Amino acid sequence: MKICVIGTGYVGLVAGTCLADMGNEVICVDNDLKKLEMLEKGIVPIYEPGLEELIKANVMEGRLKFSSDLAEAVKKSLVCFIAVGTPQSEDGSADMQFVMNVAESIGKAINGYKVIVDKSTVPVGTAEKVKAAISKHYDGEFDVVSNPEFLKQGAAVDDFLKPDRVVIGSDSPRATAIMQEVYAPFFRTASRFVIMDVKSAEMTKYAANSFLAIKISYANEIANICEAVGADAEMVRIGMCSDKRIGSQFLFPGLGYGGSCFPKDVKALLKTAKDNNCGYRLIESADEVNKEQRVIFINKILHKYGQNLSGKTFAVWGLTFKPKTNDMRMSPAITIINALLEHGGKVQAYDPKGFEQAKTIWKDKITYAKSSYEALEGADCMLLLTEWNEFRRPDFDKIKDMLKTPVIFDGRNQYDAERMKQRGFEYICVGRKY
């Protein structure tokens, strides 16, 4: 099948590559010429495990192409995915300018029946608006469907190739059949299509992401209570999770959620609820608890060292909003490092993949170490902010030797608190009295 994916970011590049890997002819379109130039040279602008190899293989086979020519790509394709960003606007709603620009361009280029797929996370009613924008320029047949994406950064290729479910919101049997054909190769053992009307599909994505955000905020609130009453949040988590009704995912206390999705999707759902005079207390609280969680962590540092951090050096392990990605968008590390700098502290950071984006945020305001241990040199303490695998079993003797004082603030509860005490560390984590 001939497919184009408009927007070659974390979602579009992964989706386009995986669709090409299933034998489709795919054109990935972007208007960022620098990004396209890199891709043409075989340089992948984002980090996702397994992505680079898959891109190379599919480019070599001639199934995957990159282009800035949206019109040409649309003309050649039967299915056109819109996967551009929908960032947060000032009032909390999703900023729809990129999606609507693309819809207009599709309207000007379309030359026959096509399925236009909203893959971006968009508010209820967007498919209708996309349809109207295309219809302004074109009076032939086409359908607009909603196909929200559920991949997780850090495991995006795997998630796309083996999805838990594929939600298709469609009011046209013809378009539904084409979408099923697109995704059938991804379901070799069991079909996991969830087919519904367009508005319900648009809503499903916000409902799912906000639920996960609420789970994380709940875990954090419980951890804070544990800390106050002397219970151990890690034991409480394990005790809770063994109940099948609760499950084990998204209940790790820490620094709260970040990234380009949960914060903005929670805000957008909140705005939708307000605009429609519906209740929104739970959704609003998820966001408030999340912001507060970072402040609580910063206060632990200020409690130990005082408000004036000048003369103090902080070694930071992990900058990205989660492991296995280079994405720094809305990362808790941004809030925490900015607070340290505002209070006069010095930061020596290490992250396996996040430096390029980090340098655009802090430039020379912080030091970028070549290894996790180099970041510790002469530092007063270590802060663990992202749970990369390589931080799980470090050489604690070496850490102790390199730090001025053996103090670790662990925002991700990576180590056994009892053992850390035995090793001679002052270990300050989340959800345990310290």
Q: Active-site residues: which are they? A: 261
- Is residue 93 part of the contact set for ligand NAD (CB under 6 A)? no
From CA 416, how far away is CA 232, in angstroms rounded?
11
Choose between 329 and 346: whose C-beta lies nearer to ligand NAD.
329
Contact 209, 177 (CB under 8 A): no
Under the binding rule (CB under 6 A), the answer on residue 85 touching ligand NAD is: yes
How far is CA 369 from each of CA 316, 355, 383, rounded to the nearest angstrom? 10, 9, 14
Tell me which stretch binds ligand NAD (CB under 6 A): 31-39, 192-200, 240-248, 272-280: 31-39
In whole angstroms, the minimum distance from the beta carbon of 265 to ligand NAD comes to 7
Which of 133-170 are b and which e, b meaning 16 or more Cβ less than 10 Å from the residue's Cβ? bbeeebeeebbbbbbbbebebbbbbbbbbebeebbbbb
Shortest Cβ 151–ligand NAD spacing (Å): 5
Query: Which residue's CB is nearer to ligand NAD, number 49 or number 306?
Result: 49
Interacting residues of 434 by C-beta distance below 8 A, sequence separation 6+: 227, 300, 426, 427, 428
d(Cα 232, Cα 215) in Å, to the nearest integer?
18
Out of 120, 126, 290, 326, the only residue in the binding site for ligand NAD (CB under 6 A) is 120
What's the CA gap between 224 and 256, in Å, rounded? Answer: 12
Measured from the CB atom, the residue of 7 and 169 that comes closer to ligand NAD is: 7
User: Cα–Cα distance between 352 and 371 in angstroms, integer?
Assistant: 8
Q: Half-sphere exposure of 178 toward its Cβ, with a 13 Å CA cutoff?
A: 24
Q: Is there binding between residue 83 and ligand NAD (CB under 6 A)? A: yes
Q: How far is the CB of 8 from ligand NAD (least distance, A)?
A: 5
**CA-CA distances (angstroms) from residue 57 to 23, 73, 197, 295, 377?**
12, 21, 36, 45, 42
Per CB under 6 A, does 31 bind ligand NAD? Answer: yes
Binding flags for ligand NAD, 151-170, as an x/- string (CB under 6 A): x-x-----------------
- Tell whether residue 261 is a contact of ligand NAD (CB under 6 A): yes
- What's the full length of the chain, in residues? 434
Contact between 354 and ligand NAD (CB under 6 A)? no
Rounded CA separation 300/60 (Å): 52
Nearer to ligand NAD, 253 or 263 (CB): 263
Total residues at the site for ligand NAD (CB under 6 A)? 27
Binder among 4, 28, 74, 102 for ligand NAD (CB under 6 A): 102
Rounded CA separation 281/273 (Å): 10
CB 13 → ligand NAD: shortest distance, Å? 7
If one asks whether residue 427 binds ligand NAD (CB under 6 A), the answer comes out as no
Q: Of 29-37, 71-79, 135-143, 362-370, which part binds ligand NAD (CB under 6 A)?
A: 29-37
With beta carbons less than 8 A apart as the criterion, state whether 347 and 314 touch: yes
| Distance in angstroms (rounded) separating the CA atoms of residues 267 and 122 | 12
Q: Are 233 and 223 in contact (CB under 8 A)?
A: yes
DSSP3 helix / strand / coil % (the chain, rounded to 5) = 45, 15, 40
Query: Which CB atom, from 98 or from 415, has the smaller least distance to ligand NAD?
Result: 98
Rounded CA separation 347/283 (Å): 34
Note whether 101 binds ligand NAD by CB under 6 A: yes
Of these, 3, 4, 5, 10, which contacts ligand NAD (CB under 6 A)?
A: 10
Q: Which of 21, 48, 118, 149 binds ligand NAD (CB under 6 A)?
A: 149
Comparing CB distances to ligand NAD, the nearer of 149 and 234 is 149
Quick one: which segment of 1-9, 19-27, 330-338, 376-384 binds ligand NAD (CB under 6 A)? 1-9
| 109 near ligand NAD (CB under 6 A) | no
Q: CA neighbours within 13 Å on the CB side: how many for 77?
A: 29
Residues 200, 47: Cα–Cα separation, whole Å: 32
Give the residue among 255, 261, 253 at the shortest CA–CA distance from 329: 261
Q: Among the candidate windows 108-116, 149-157, 223-231, 370-378, which touches ligand NAD by CB under 6 A? A: 149-157
Nearest residue to ligand NAD on Cβ basis: 9
Site string for ligand NAD, 32-71 (x = CB under 6 A): x--x----------------------------------x-
Which residue type occupies 336?
I
The Cβ-side half-sphere exposure at 130, using a 13 Å CA radius, reads: 27
Among the listed residues 3, 9, 27, 256, the single contact to ligand NAD using CB under 6 A: 9
List binders of ligand NAD among 280-339 (CB under 6 A): none
Which residues here bind ligand NAD, judged by CB under 6 A?
Answer: 6-12, 29-32, 35, 70, 83-86, 98, 101-102, 120-121, 149, 151, 153, 260-261
